[in-house]
C-alpha cells in the first residue's frame, strides 16, 4: 500500500511532541518510544495530532499495534477515510 502521502502528516504530529527529533534518522522498524525520549503523555498527544491531521479514529485498543513508524503508516493506510467522491485526482 502506498503510504507516502501519510508520512508528512505523521511526521508533523511527531515534531510537535518531539521537536528535536530528526525524522531522517528514525529507524522505521524500531519503536518510536525507544528511539525518542517521549512518555505516554507525549505519545497520546502524538496520536491526537495524527487524528487531527488525518481524521482517523484510533481506538485505545489499537495502541499496541502502533509502536513503529512503519506500523503507524500501515495502520493509517487501512483506516483512513475513503476519499470523498469527486475529489479523486485532486
Partner 1 sequence: MAEFRMPSLGADMETGKLAQWLVKPGDRVARGDIVAVVETQKGAIDVEIFEGGVVQQILVPEGSEVPVGTPLALVDGAVPSASAPPVAAAPSLPGTPAPSAAASPAAVPAPAAPVPAAPRVRASPAARRLAAELAVDLATVRGTRLDGAVTLDDVRAAAAAKAPAPAPAPVPAAEDRAAAMRAAIAAAMSRSKREIPHYYLGTEIDLKRALDWLEAGNRKRPITERLLPAVLLLKAVALAVREVPETNGFWVDGAFRPSTPVHLGVAISLPHGGLVAPAIHDADGLSLDALMAALRDVVERARVGRLRSSEVTDPTITVTNLGEQGVGTVYGVIYPPQVALVGFGAVVERPWAVGGLLGVRPIVSATLSADHRASVGHRGARFLAAIDRLLQEPEKL
Q: What residues make contact with partner 1 under the rule CB under 8 A?
A: 20, 37, 39-41, 44-45, 47-48, 51, 57-61
Nearest-approach distance from CB 40 to partner 1, in angstroms: 6
Alpha-carbon distance of 18 to 45, in angstroms, equals: 10
Q: Is 45 exposed, middle or buried (CB count within 10 Å of its CB: 0-12, 13-18, 19+)? A: middle
Nearest-approach distance from CB 86 to partner 1, in angstroms: 28
Among residues 77, 63, 54, 76, the alpha carbon closest in space to that of 32 is found at 63
Nearest-approach distance from CB 90 to partner 1, in angstroms: 27
**C-beta closer to partner 1: residue 17 or 73:** 17
Amino acid at each position: 500500500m502506498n503510504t507516502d502521502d501519510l508520512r508528512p502528516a505523521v511526521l508533523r504530529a511527531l515534531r510537535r511532541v518531539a521537536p528535536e527529533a530528526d525524522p531522517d534518522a528514525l529507524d522505521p522498524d524500531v519503536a518510536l518510544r525507544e528511539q525518542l525520549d517521549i512518555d505516554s503523555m507525549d505519545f497520546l498527544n502524538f496520536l491526537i495530532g495524527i487524528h487531527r491531521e488525518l481524521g482517523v479514529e484510533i481506538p485505545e485498543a489499537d495502541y499496541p499495534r502502533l509502536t513503529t513508524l512503519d506500523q503507524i503508516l500501515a495502520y493509517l493506510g487501512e483506516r483512513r477515510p475513503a476519499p470523498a467522491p469527486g475529489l479523486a485526482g485532486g
